[in-house]
Structure 1
Amino acid sequence: MVISAPPATAPEVVVLPSAGVAAANPAPHGWTTHTVRPGDTLIGIAARYRTTVGVLAARNEIRDRGHIVAGTRLAVPRTTPAKSAKRPTPQQPRTVHVVRSGDTLIGIAARYRVPLASVLKANRLTARSVIHPGQKVTVRAAAATATAARTVAKGTRYRVRAGDTLGAIAIRHRTSVGAIARASGISTRSVIRPGQRLTIPGRAGGSTTTAKQPVPDTFNGVRYPRSVAEAAARNRAILAKRSVPSRTTTKSMIVSTARRHGVDPKLALAVAYQESGWNQRAVSPANAVGVMQVIPDAGRWASDLAGRRLDLLDPQDNVTAGVVILRALGRATTSPEKAVAAYYQGLGALQKHGMYTDTKQYVRTVMALRKTM
């Protein structure tokens, strides 16, 4: 509604019906400032800013409505939306990611460097949602983020072979699981499949033989003491020279050992596959050794459980260690999921803190693998 200003000599009038003023928002577009100039009147200012004298007087605590001083700054309603509000909020770039084998929601979020919550919200999913190869997932990210996702660090391409795990590949290429996961757009706990292609970062055009490579001491974002990393390197060197069973033989070994100790063979197979891909030569920088990825302290506990000393470098003993640990954890917890969580996180930490975020992903992966065994 347009209101014309009355003559300066006219008596004060009600510019808007009182009922309308009471119900209306006096400043629908917010407030701004007006500096009183010589000759200004409150009535004229009210008309200019499409409001009433009463609104101005109340907002600025003016008692004498007939007298305002030049130079005074008054709060007045904006007559139009602020300039910043005029400009529409730029839409975040929208990327559609086609799910591939081995993808997880966490991995997709990591690839595009956006919070997992934003991926879930954009696709009306929950953290428990299952995604399938070929499914389309919408990712909304800032322009710089989207660009960064398309320009991942250059590196060499690696085709996954039977028995490979992210840990073993990282060790072989003198890098970390996290670096491969980021470069390949997957989670550090993704299940990788033979034939899948991964990106090994930081090796494009470089030589791997011209300089001595450092002993890897970081795994899954955790850096281990030098002594642990060096012990792992020694075990790795020992196993590299030894004959180890094939994956088929290892699988049979896991099944028979699990049955002998009263453990679900499919669960043992799934844990072993997630840990090492049934590869006895796998040794992590944390010095987790062999098929079941058992660290020395856990190996000593397993020896007590088995009633004899177990050599983690021996394939059968390694499998036995992992299986009897799973048996003990199964008895100490209330579900296979919690037993698997304790295998990954540690029973004490699980009882004290519950499952960590990465533990939940590990459990989901293992339980999904179990169904395929």
Structure 2
Amino acid sequence: MTTYSVRSGDTLGALARRFNTTTDKLAKANGISNPNKIFVGQKLVVDGFDAPRATGGSSKGSSYTVKSGDTLSGIAGRHGTTVGALQKANNISNPNLIYAGQKLTIPGSGAAAPSKPASGGGGSYTVKSGDTLSGIAGRYGTSVSALQQANGISNPNKIYVGQKLTIPGGGASPGKPSNPPPVGGVNGPKPAPGGSAGVTVAQLRGVMPNLSEAKAKQYLPYLNQAMAEANITTPQRKEMFLAQLAHESGELRYMEEIASGAAYEGRKDLGNTQPGDGVRYKGRGPIQLTGRANYRAAGKALGIDLEGHPERAKDPDVAFRIAGWYWQSRNLNSYADQGNFREVTRRINGGYNGMASREAYYRRAQNVF
């Protein structure tokens, strides 16, 4: 019987995609009644759910149907090919624009396999265009935090093409999960004390009671991925992060600012230097990213052309990662750890607008966690 041990940051939806199955099938195979409730160290049966492999030397290749939450880099890693090869095979001009249900041709020859690990240690990998640290971690059956520790990476959203990464542990082949690295050991991640990344639908709606269950389920995989990437792992960090998001987005109701954005026109402090920048770069996402300069910075950190395609900032797969990047780039975990909600607010808002509302959400989040 083949099993997989749940790691910090895992979701059943992400694991289902990794093993080329559905959340419902994986839940049924493991007697899971609530797919949003899995825990670190839980053993999941994954017999029959093998991750897809590249077709070797076949010139025709294979096909794949895009699922909700997929990225081109993740699909490329799962099939042993590259983002560039997938773009070419499918006439995709923008690697950040794929959609659920889209049929992709997987190039037969693929890319050269990542270097094999040396005996007794991990392997190495050279970062390619479109890669993310979370995608690489999933490909090699490790975690983002383990990759950060092994490579001295302080910001998981900042990796660059050509960067050589050490793959920690036993060097699992891409696409196949390995045993989780030991926590606290030389080769293992050291998570912040108090818990792991991720929340449940019930917890999310406990903080945001006006959020529908359907919307909560839709957003949860993207939210949990962003929280894992930003190391929002303790109850205190979750409480402050979700409270701020609840206020900024009206409990995730508004992924795009209602106003036109014309009020931001000519705001050089936001980098709005070109005619029409105010409207083009108005607030989007659960943390309301605003201004050309901020779009450029977020896009550069996440490897997405947000300056050229600002509308992507309101899409859940990007929007929540932007919120996580914004949180981490301003070192807000450290203020959350100190219990300094006021300073977290100032660094997000630039002042203390809506402080009473933010504090009300914070108190609700404290009751939840």
Short-chain TM bin = 0.3 to 0.5
Question: Which TM-score applies when normalising by structure 2?
Answer: 0.35
Question: Which TM-score applies when normalising by structure 1?
Answer: 0.34
